[in-house]
Amino acid sequence: MKIISVGDIGIDEYVNLDIKKPGGIAFNFAINVIKNNVDCSLLSVIGKDQEGKQLKNLLRSLNIDISHLQKVNGKTAKQNIALKENGERKFVGYNAGVLSKWSLNKSDSKFILEHNAVFVPLSDGLEDIVHAIANLEGNITKIIDFSQDYEFADFDKEENVIKKYCKYFDINFIGATEKQIPLITRLSKQYPEKVFVLTLAEKGSIGFLKGEKFLQPAKTVEKIIDTTGCGDAFQAGFVANYLKTKDISSALQHATNQATKVLQHIGSTTYKL
């Protein structure tokens, strides 16, 4: 099995700690997929700046296929983060850099279809990428991440981005609140062949299949250091397990265990630049 993660890679700058770490949802997902002994490719774009060079050197040292990672003139994406004493992170500014002009070409689309599964987040500036993957034709499992951190998240509206895109994706992750349970329940019944997973932070997670709910409590952590990247690790753990087992309960438990480890260090991963 081989999975490709498509989307953002960049720098997470902790503005109140003077720390820079590698980050981005697609990067975090790929890092956590390979921890499950699953082959993974990363499709994204970085700038020809110092941060881009550092990221590429790091990725070369890891067991991730970056043959389609683009490097172009401009600045690598950067997310500014303020970390609170309780470990909660707050996004305090984002510069998409070269990601803002990135699009998939025919070679990228062909490369994606060489994999068993593709993951993409619906995050700021990646709308065209999500649209392109939604419309890819081929025998590939499609996975999407919907997050309430997305600039245009409109989950409470009658017509929303989840309804718009879920029909195109086989596994749908929704990072939101319990208010979305009725919506996801309806969609699970409307699209019984699709998996929906609602992640609720410290309240655990709920898997949905054919309208049935699978509850998974969160694990207790003695001290939370940093919540950055926890959801990305959860999604990677779930996907790696579910694609092998087709067992939602097993995948939820495995995902929870993997996500819990991320809470115990600064940064979405332990890697440095």
Nearest CA among 269, 268, 271, 241 for reference residue 256: 241
What pTM was computed for the model?
0.96
Residues in the chain where the model's pLDDT stays below 70: none
What confidence score (pLDDT) does residue 92 get?
A: 93
State how far the Cα of 96 lies from the Cα of 101, in Å rounded to an integer.
9
Residue 244 CB burial class (10 angstroms; 0-12, 13-18, ≥19): middle
State how far the Cα of 51 lies from the Cα of 244, in Å rounded to an integer.
36
Nearest CA among 53, 55, 57 for reference residue 26: 55
164: amino acid identity, one letter: K
Beta strand 89-95 with 77-83 is antiparallel
Please name each of the domains of the chain with its CATH number.
Answer: 2-262 (3.40.1190.20)
What confidence score (pLDDT) does residue 124 get?
A: 86
What confidence score (pLDDT) does residue 151 get?
A: 84
In what side-by-side order are the strands of the sheet with 171-175? 39-43, 2-6, 117-122, 141-147, 171-175, 195-199, 205-209, 212-216
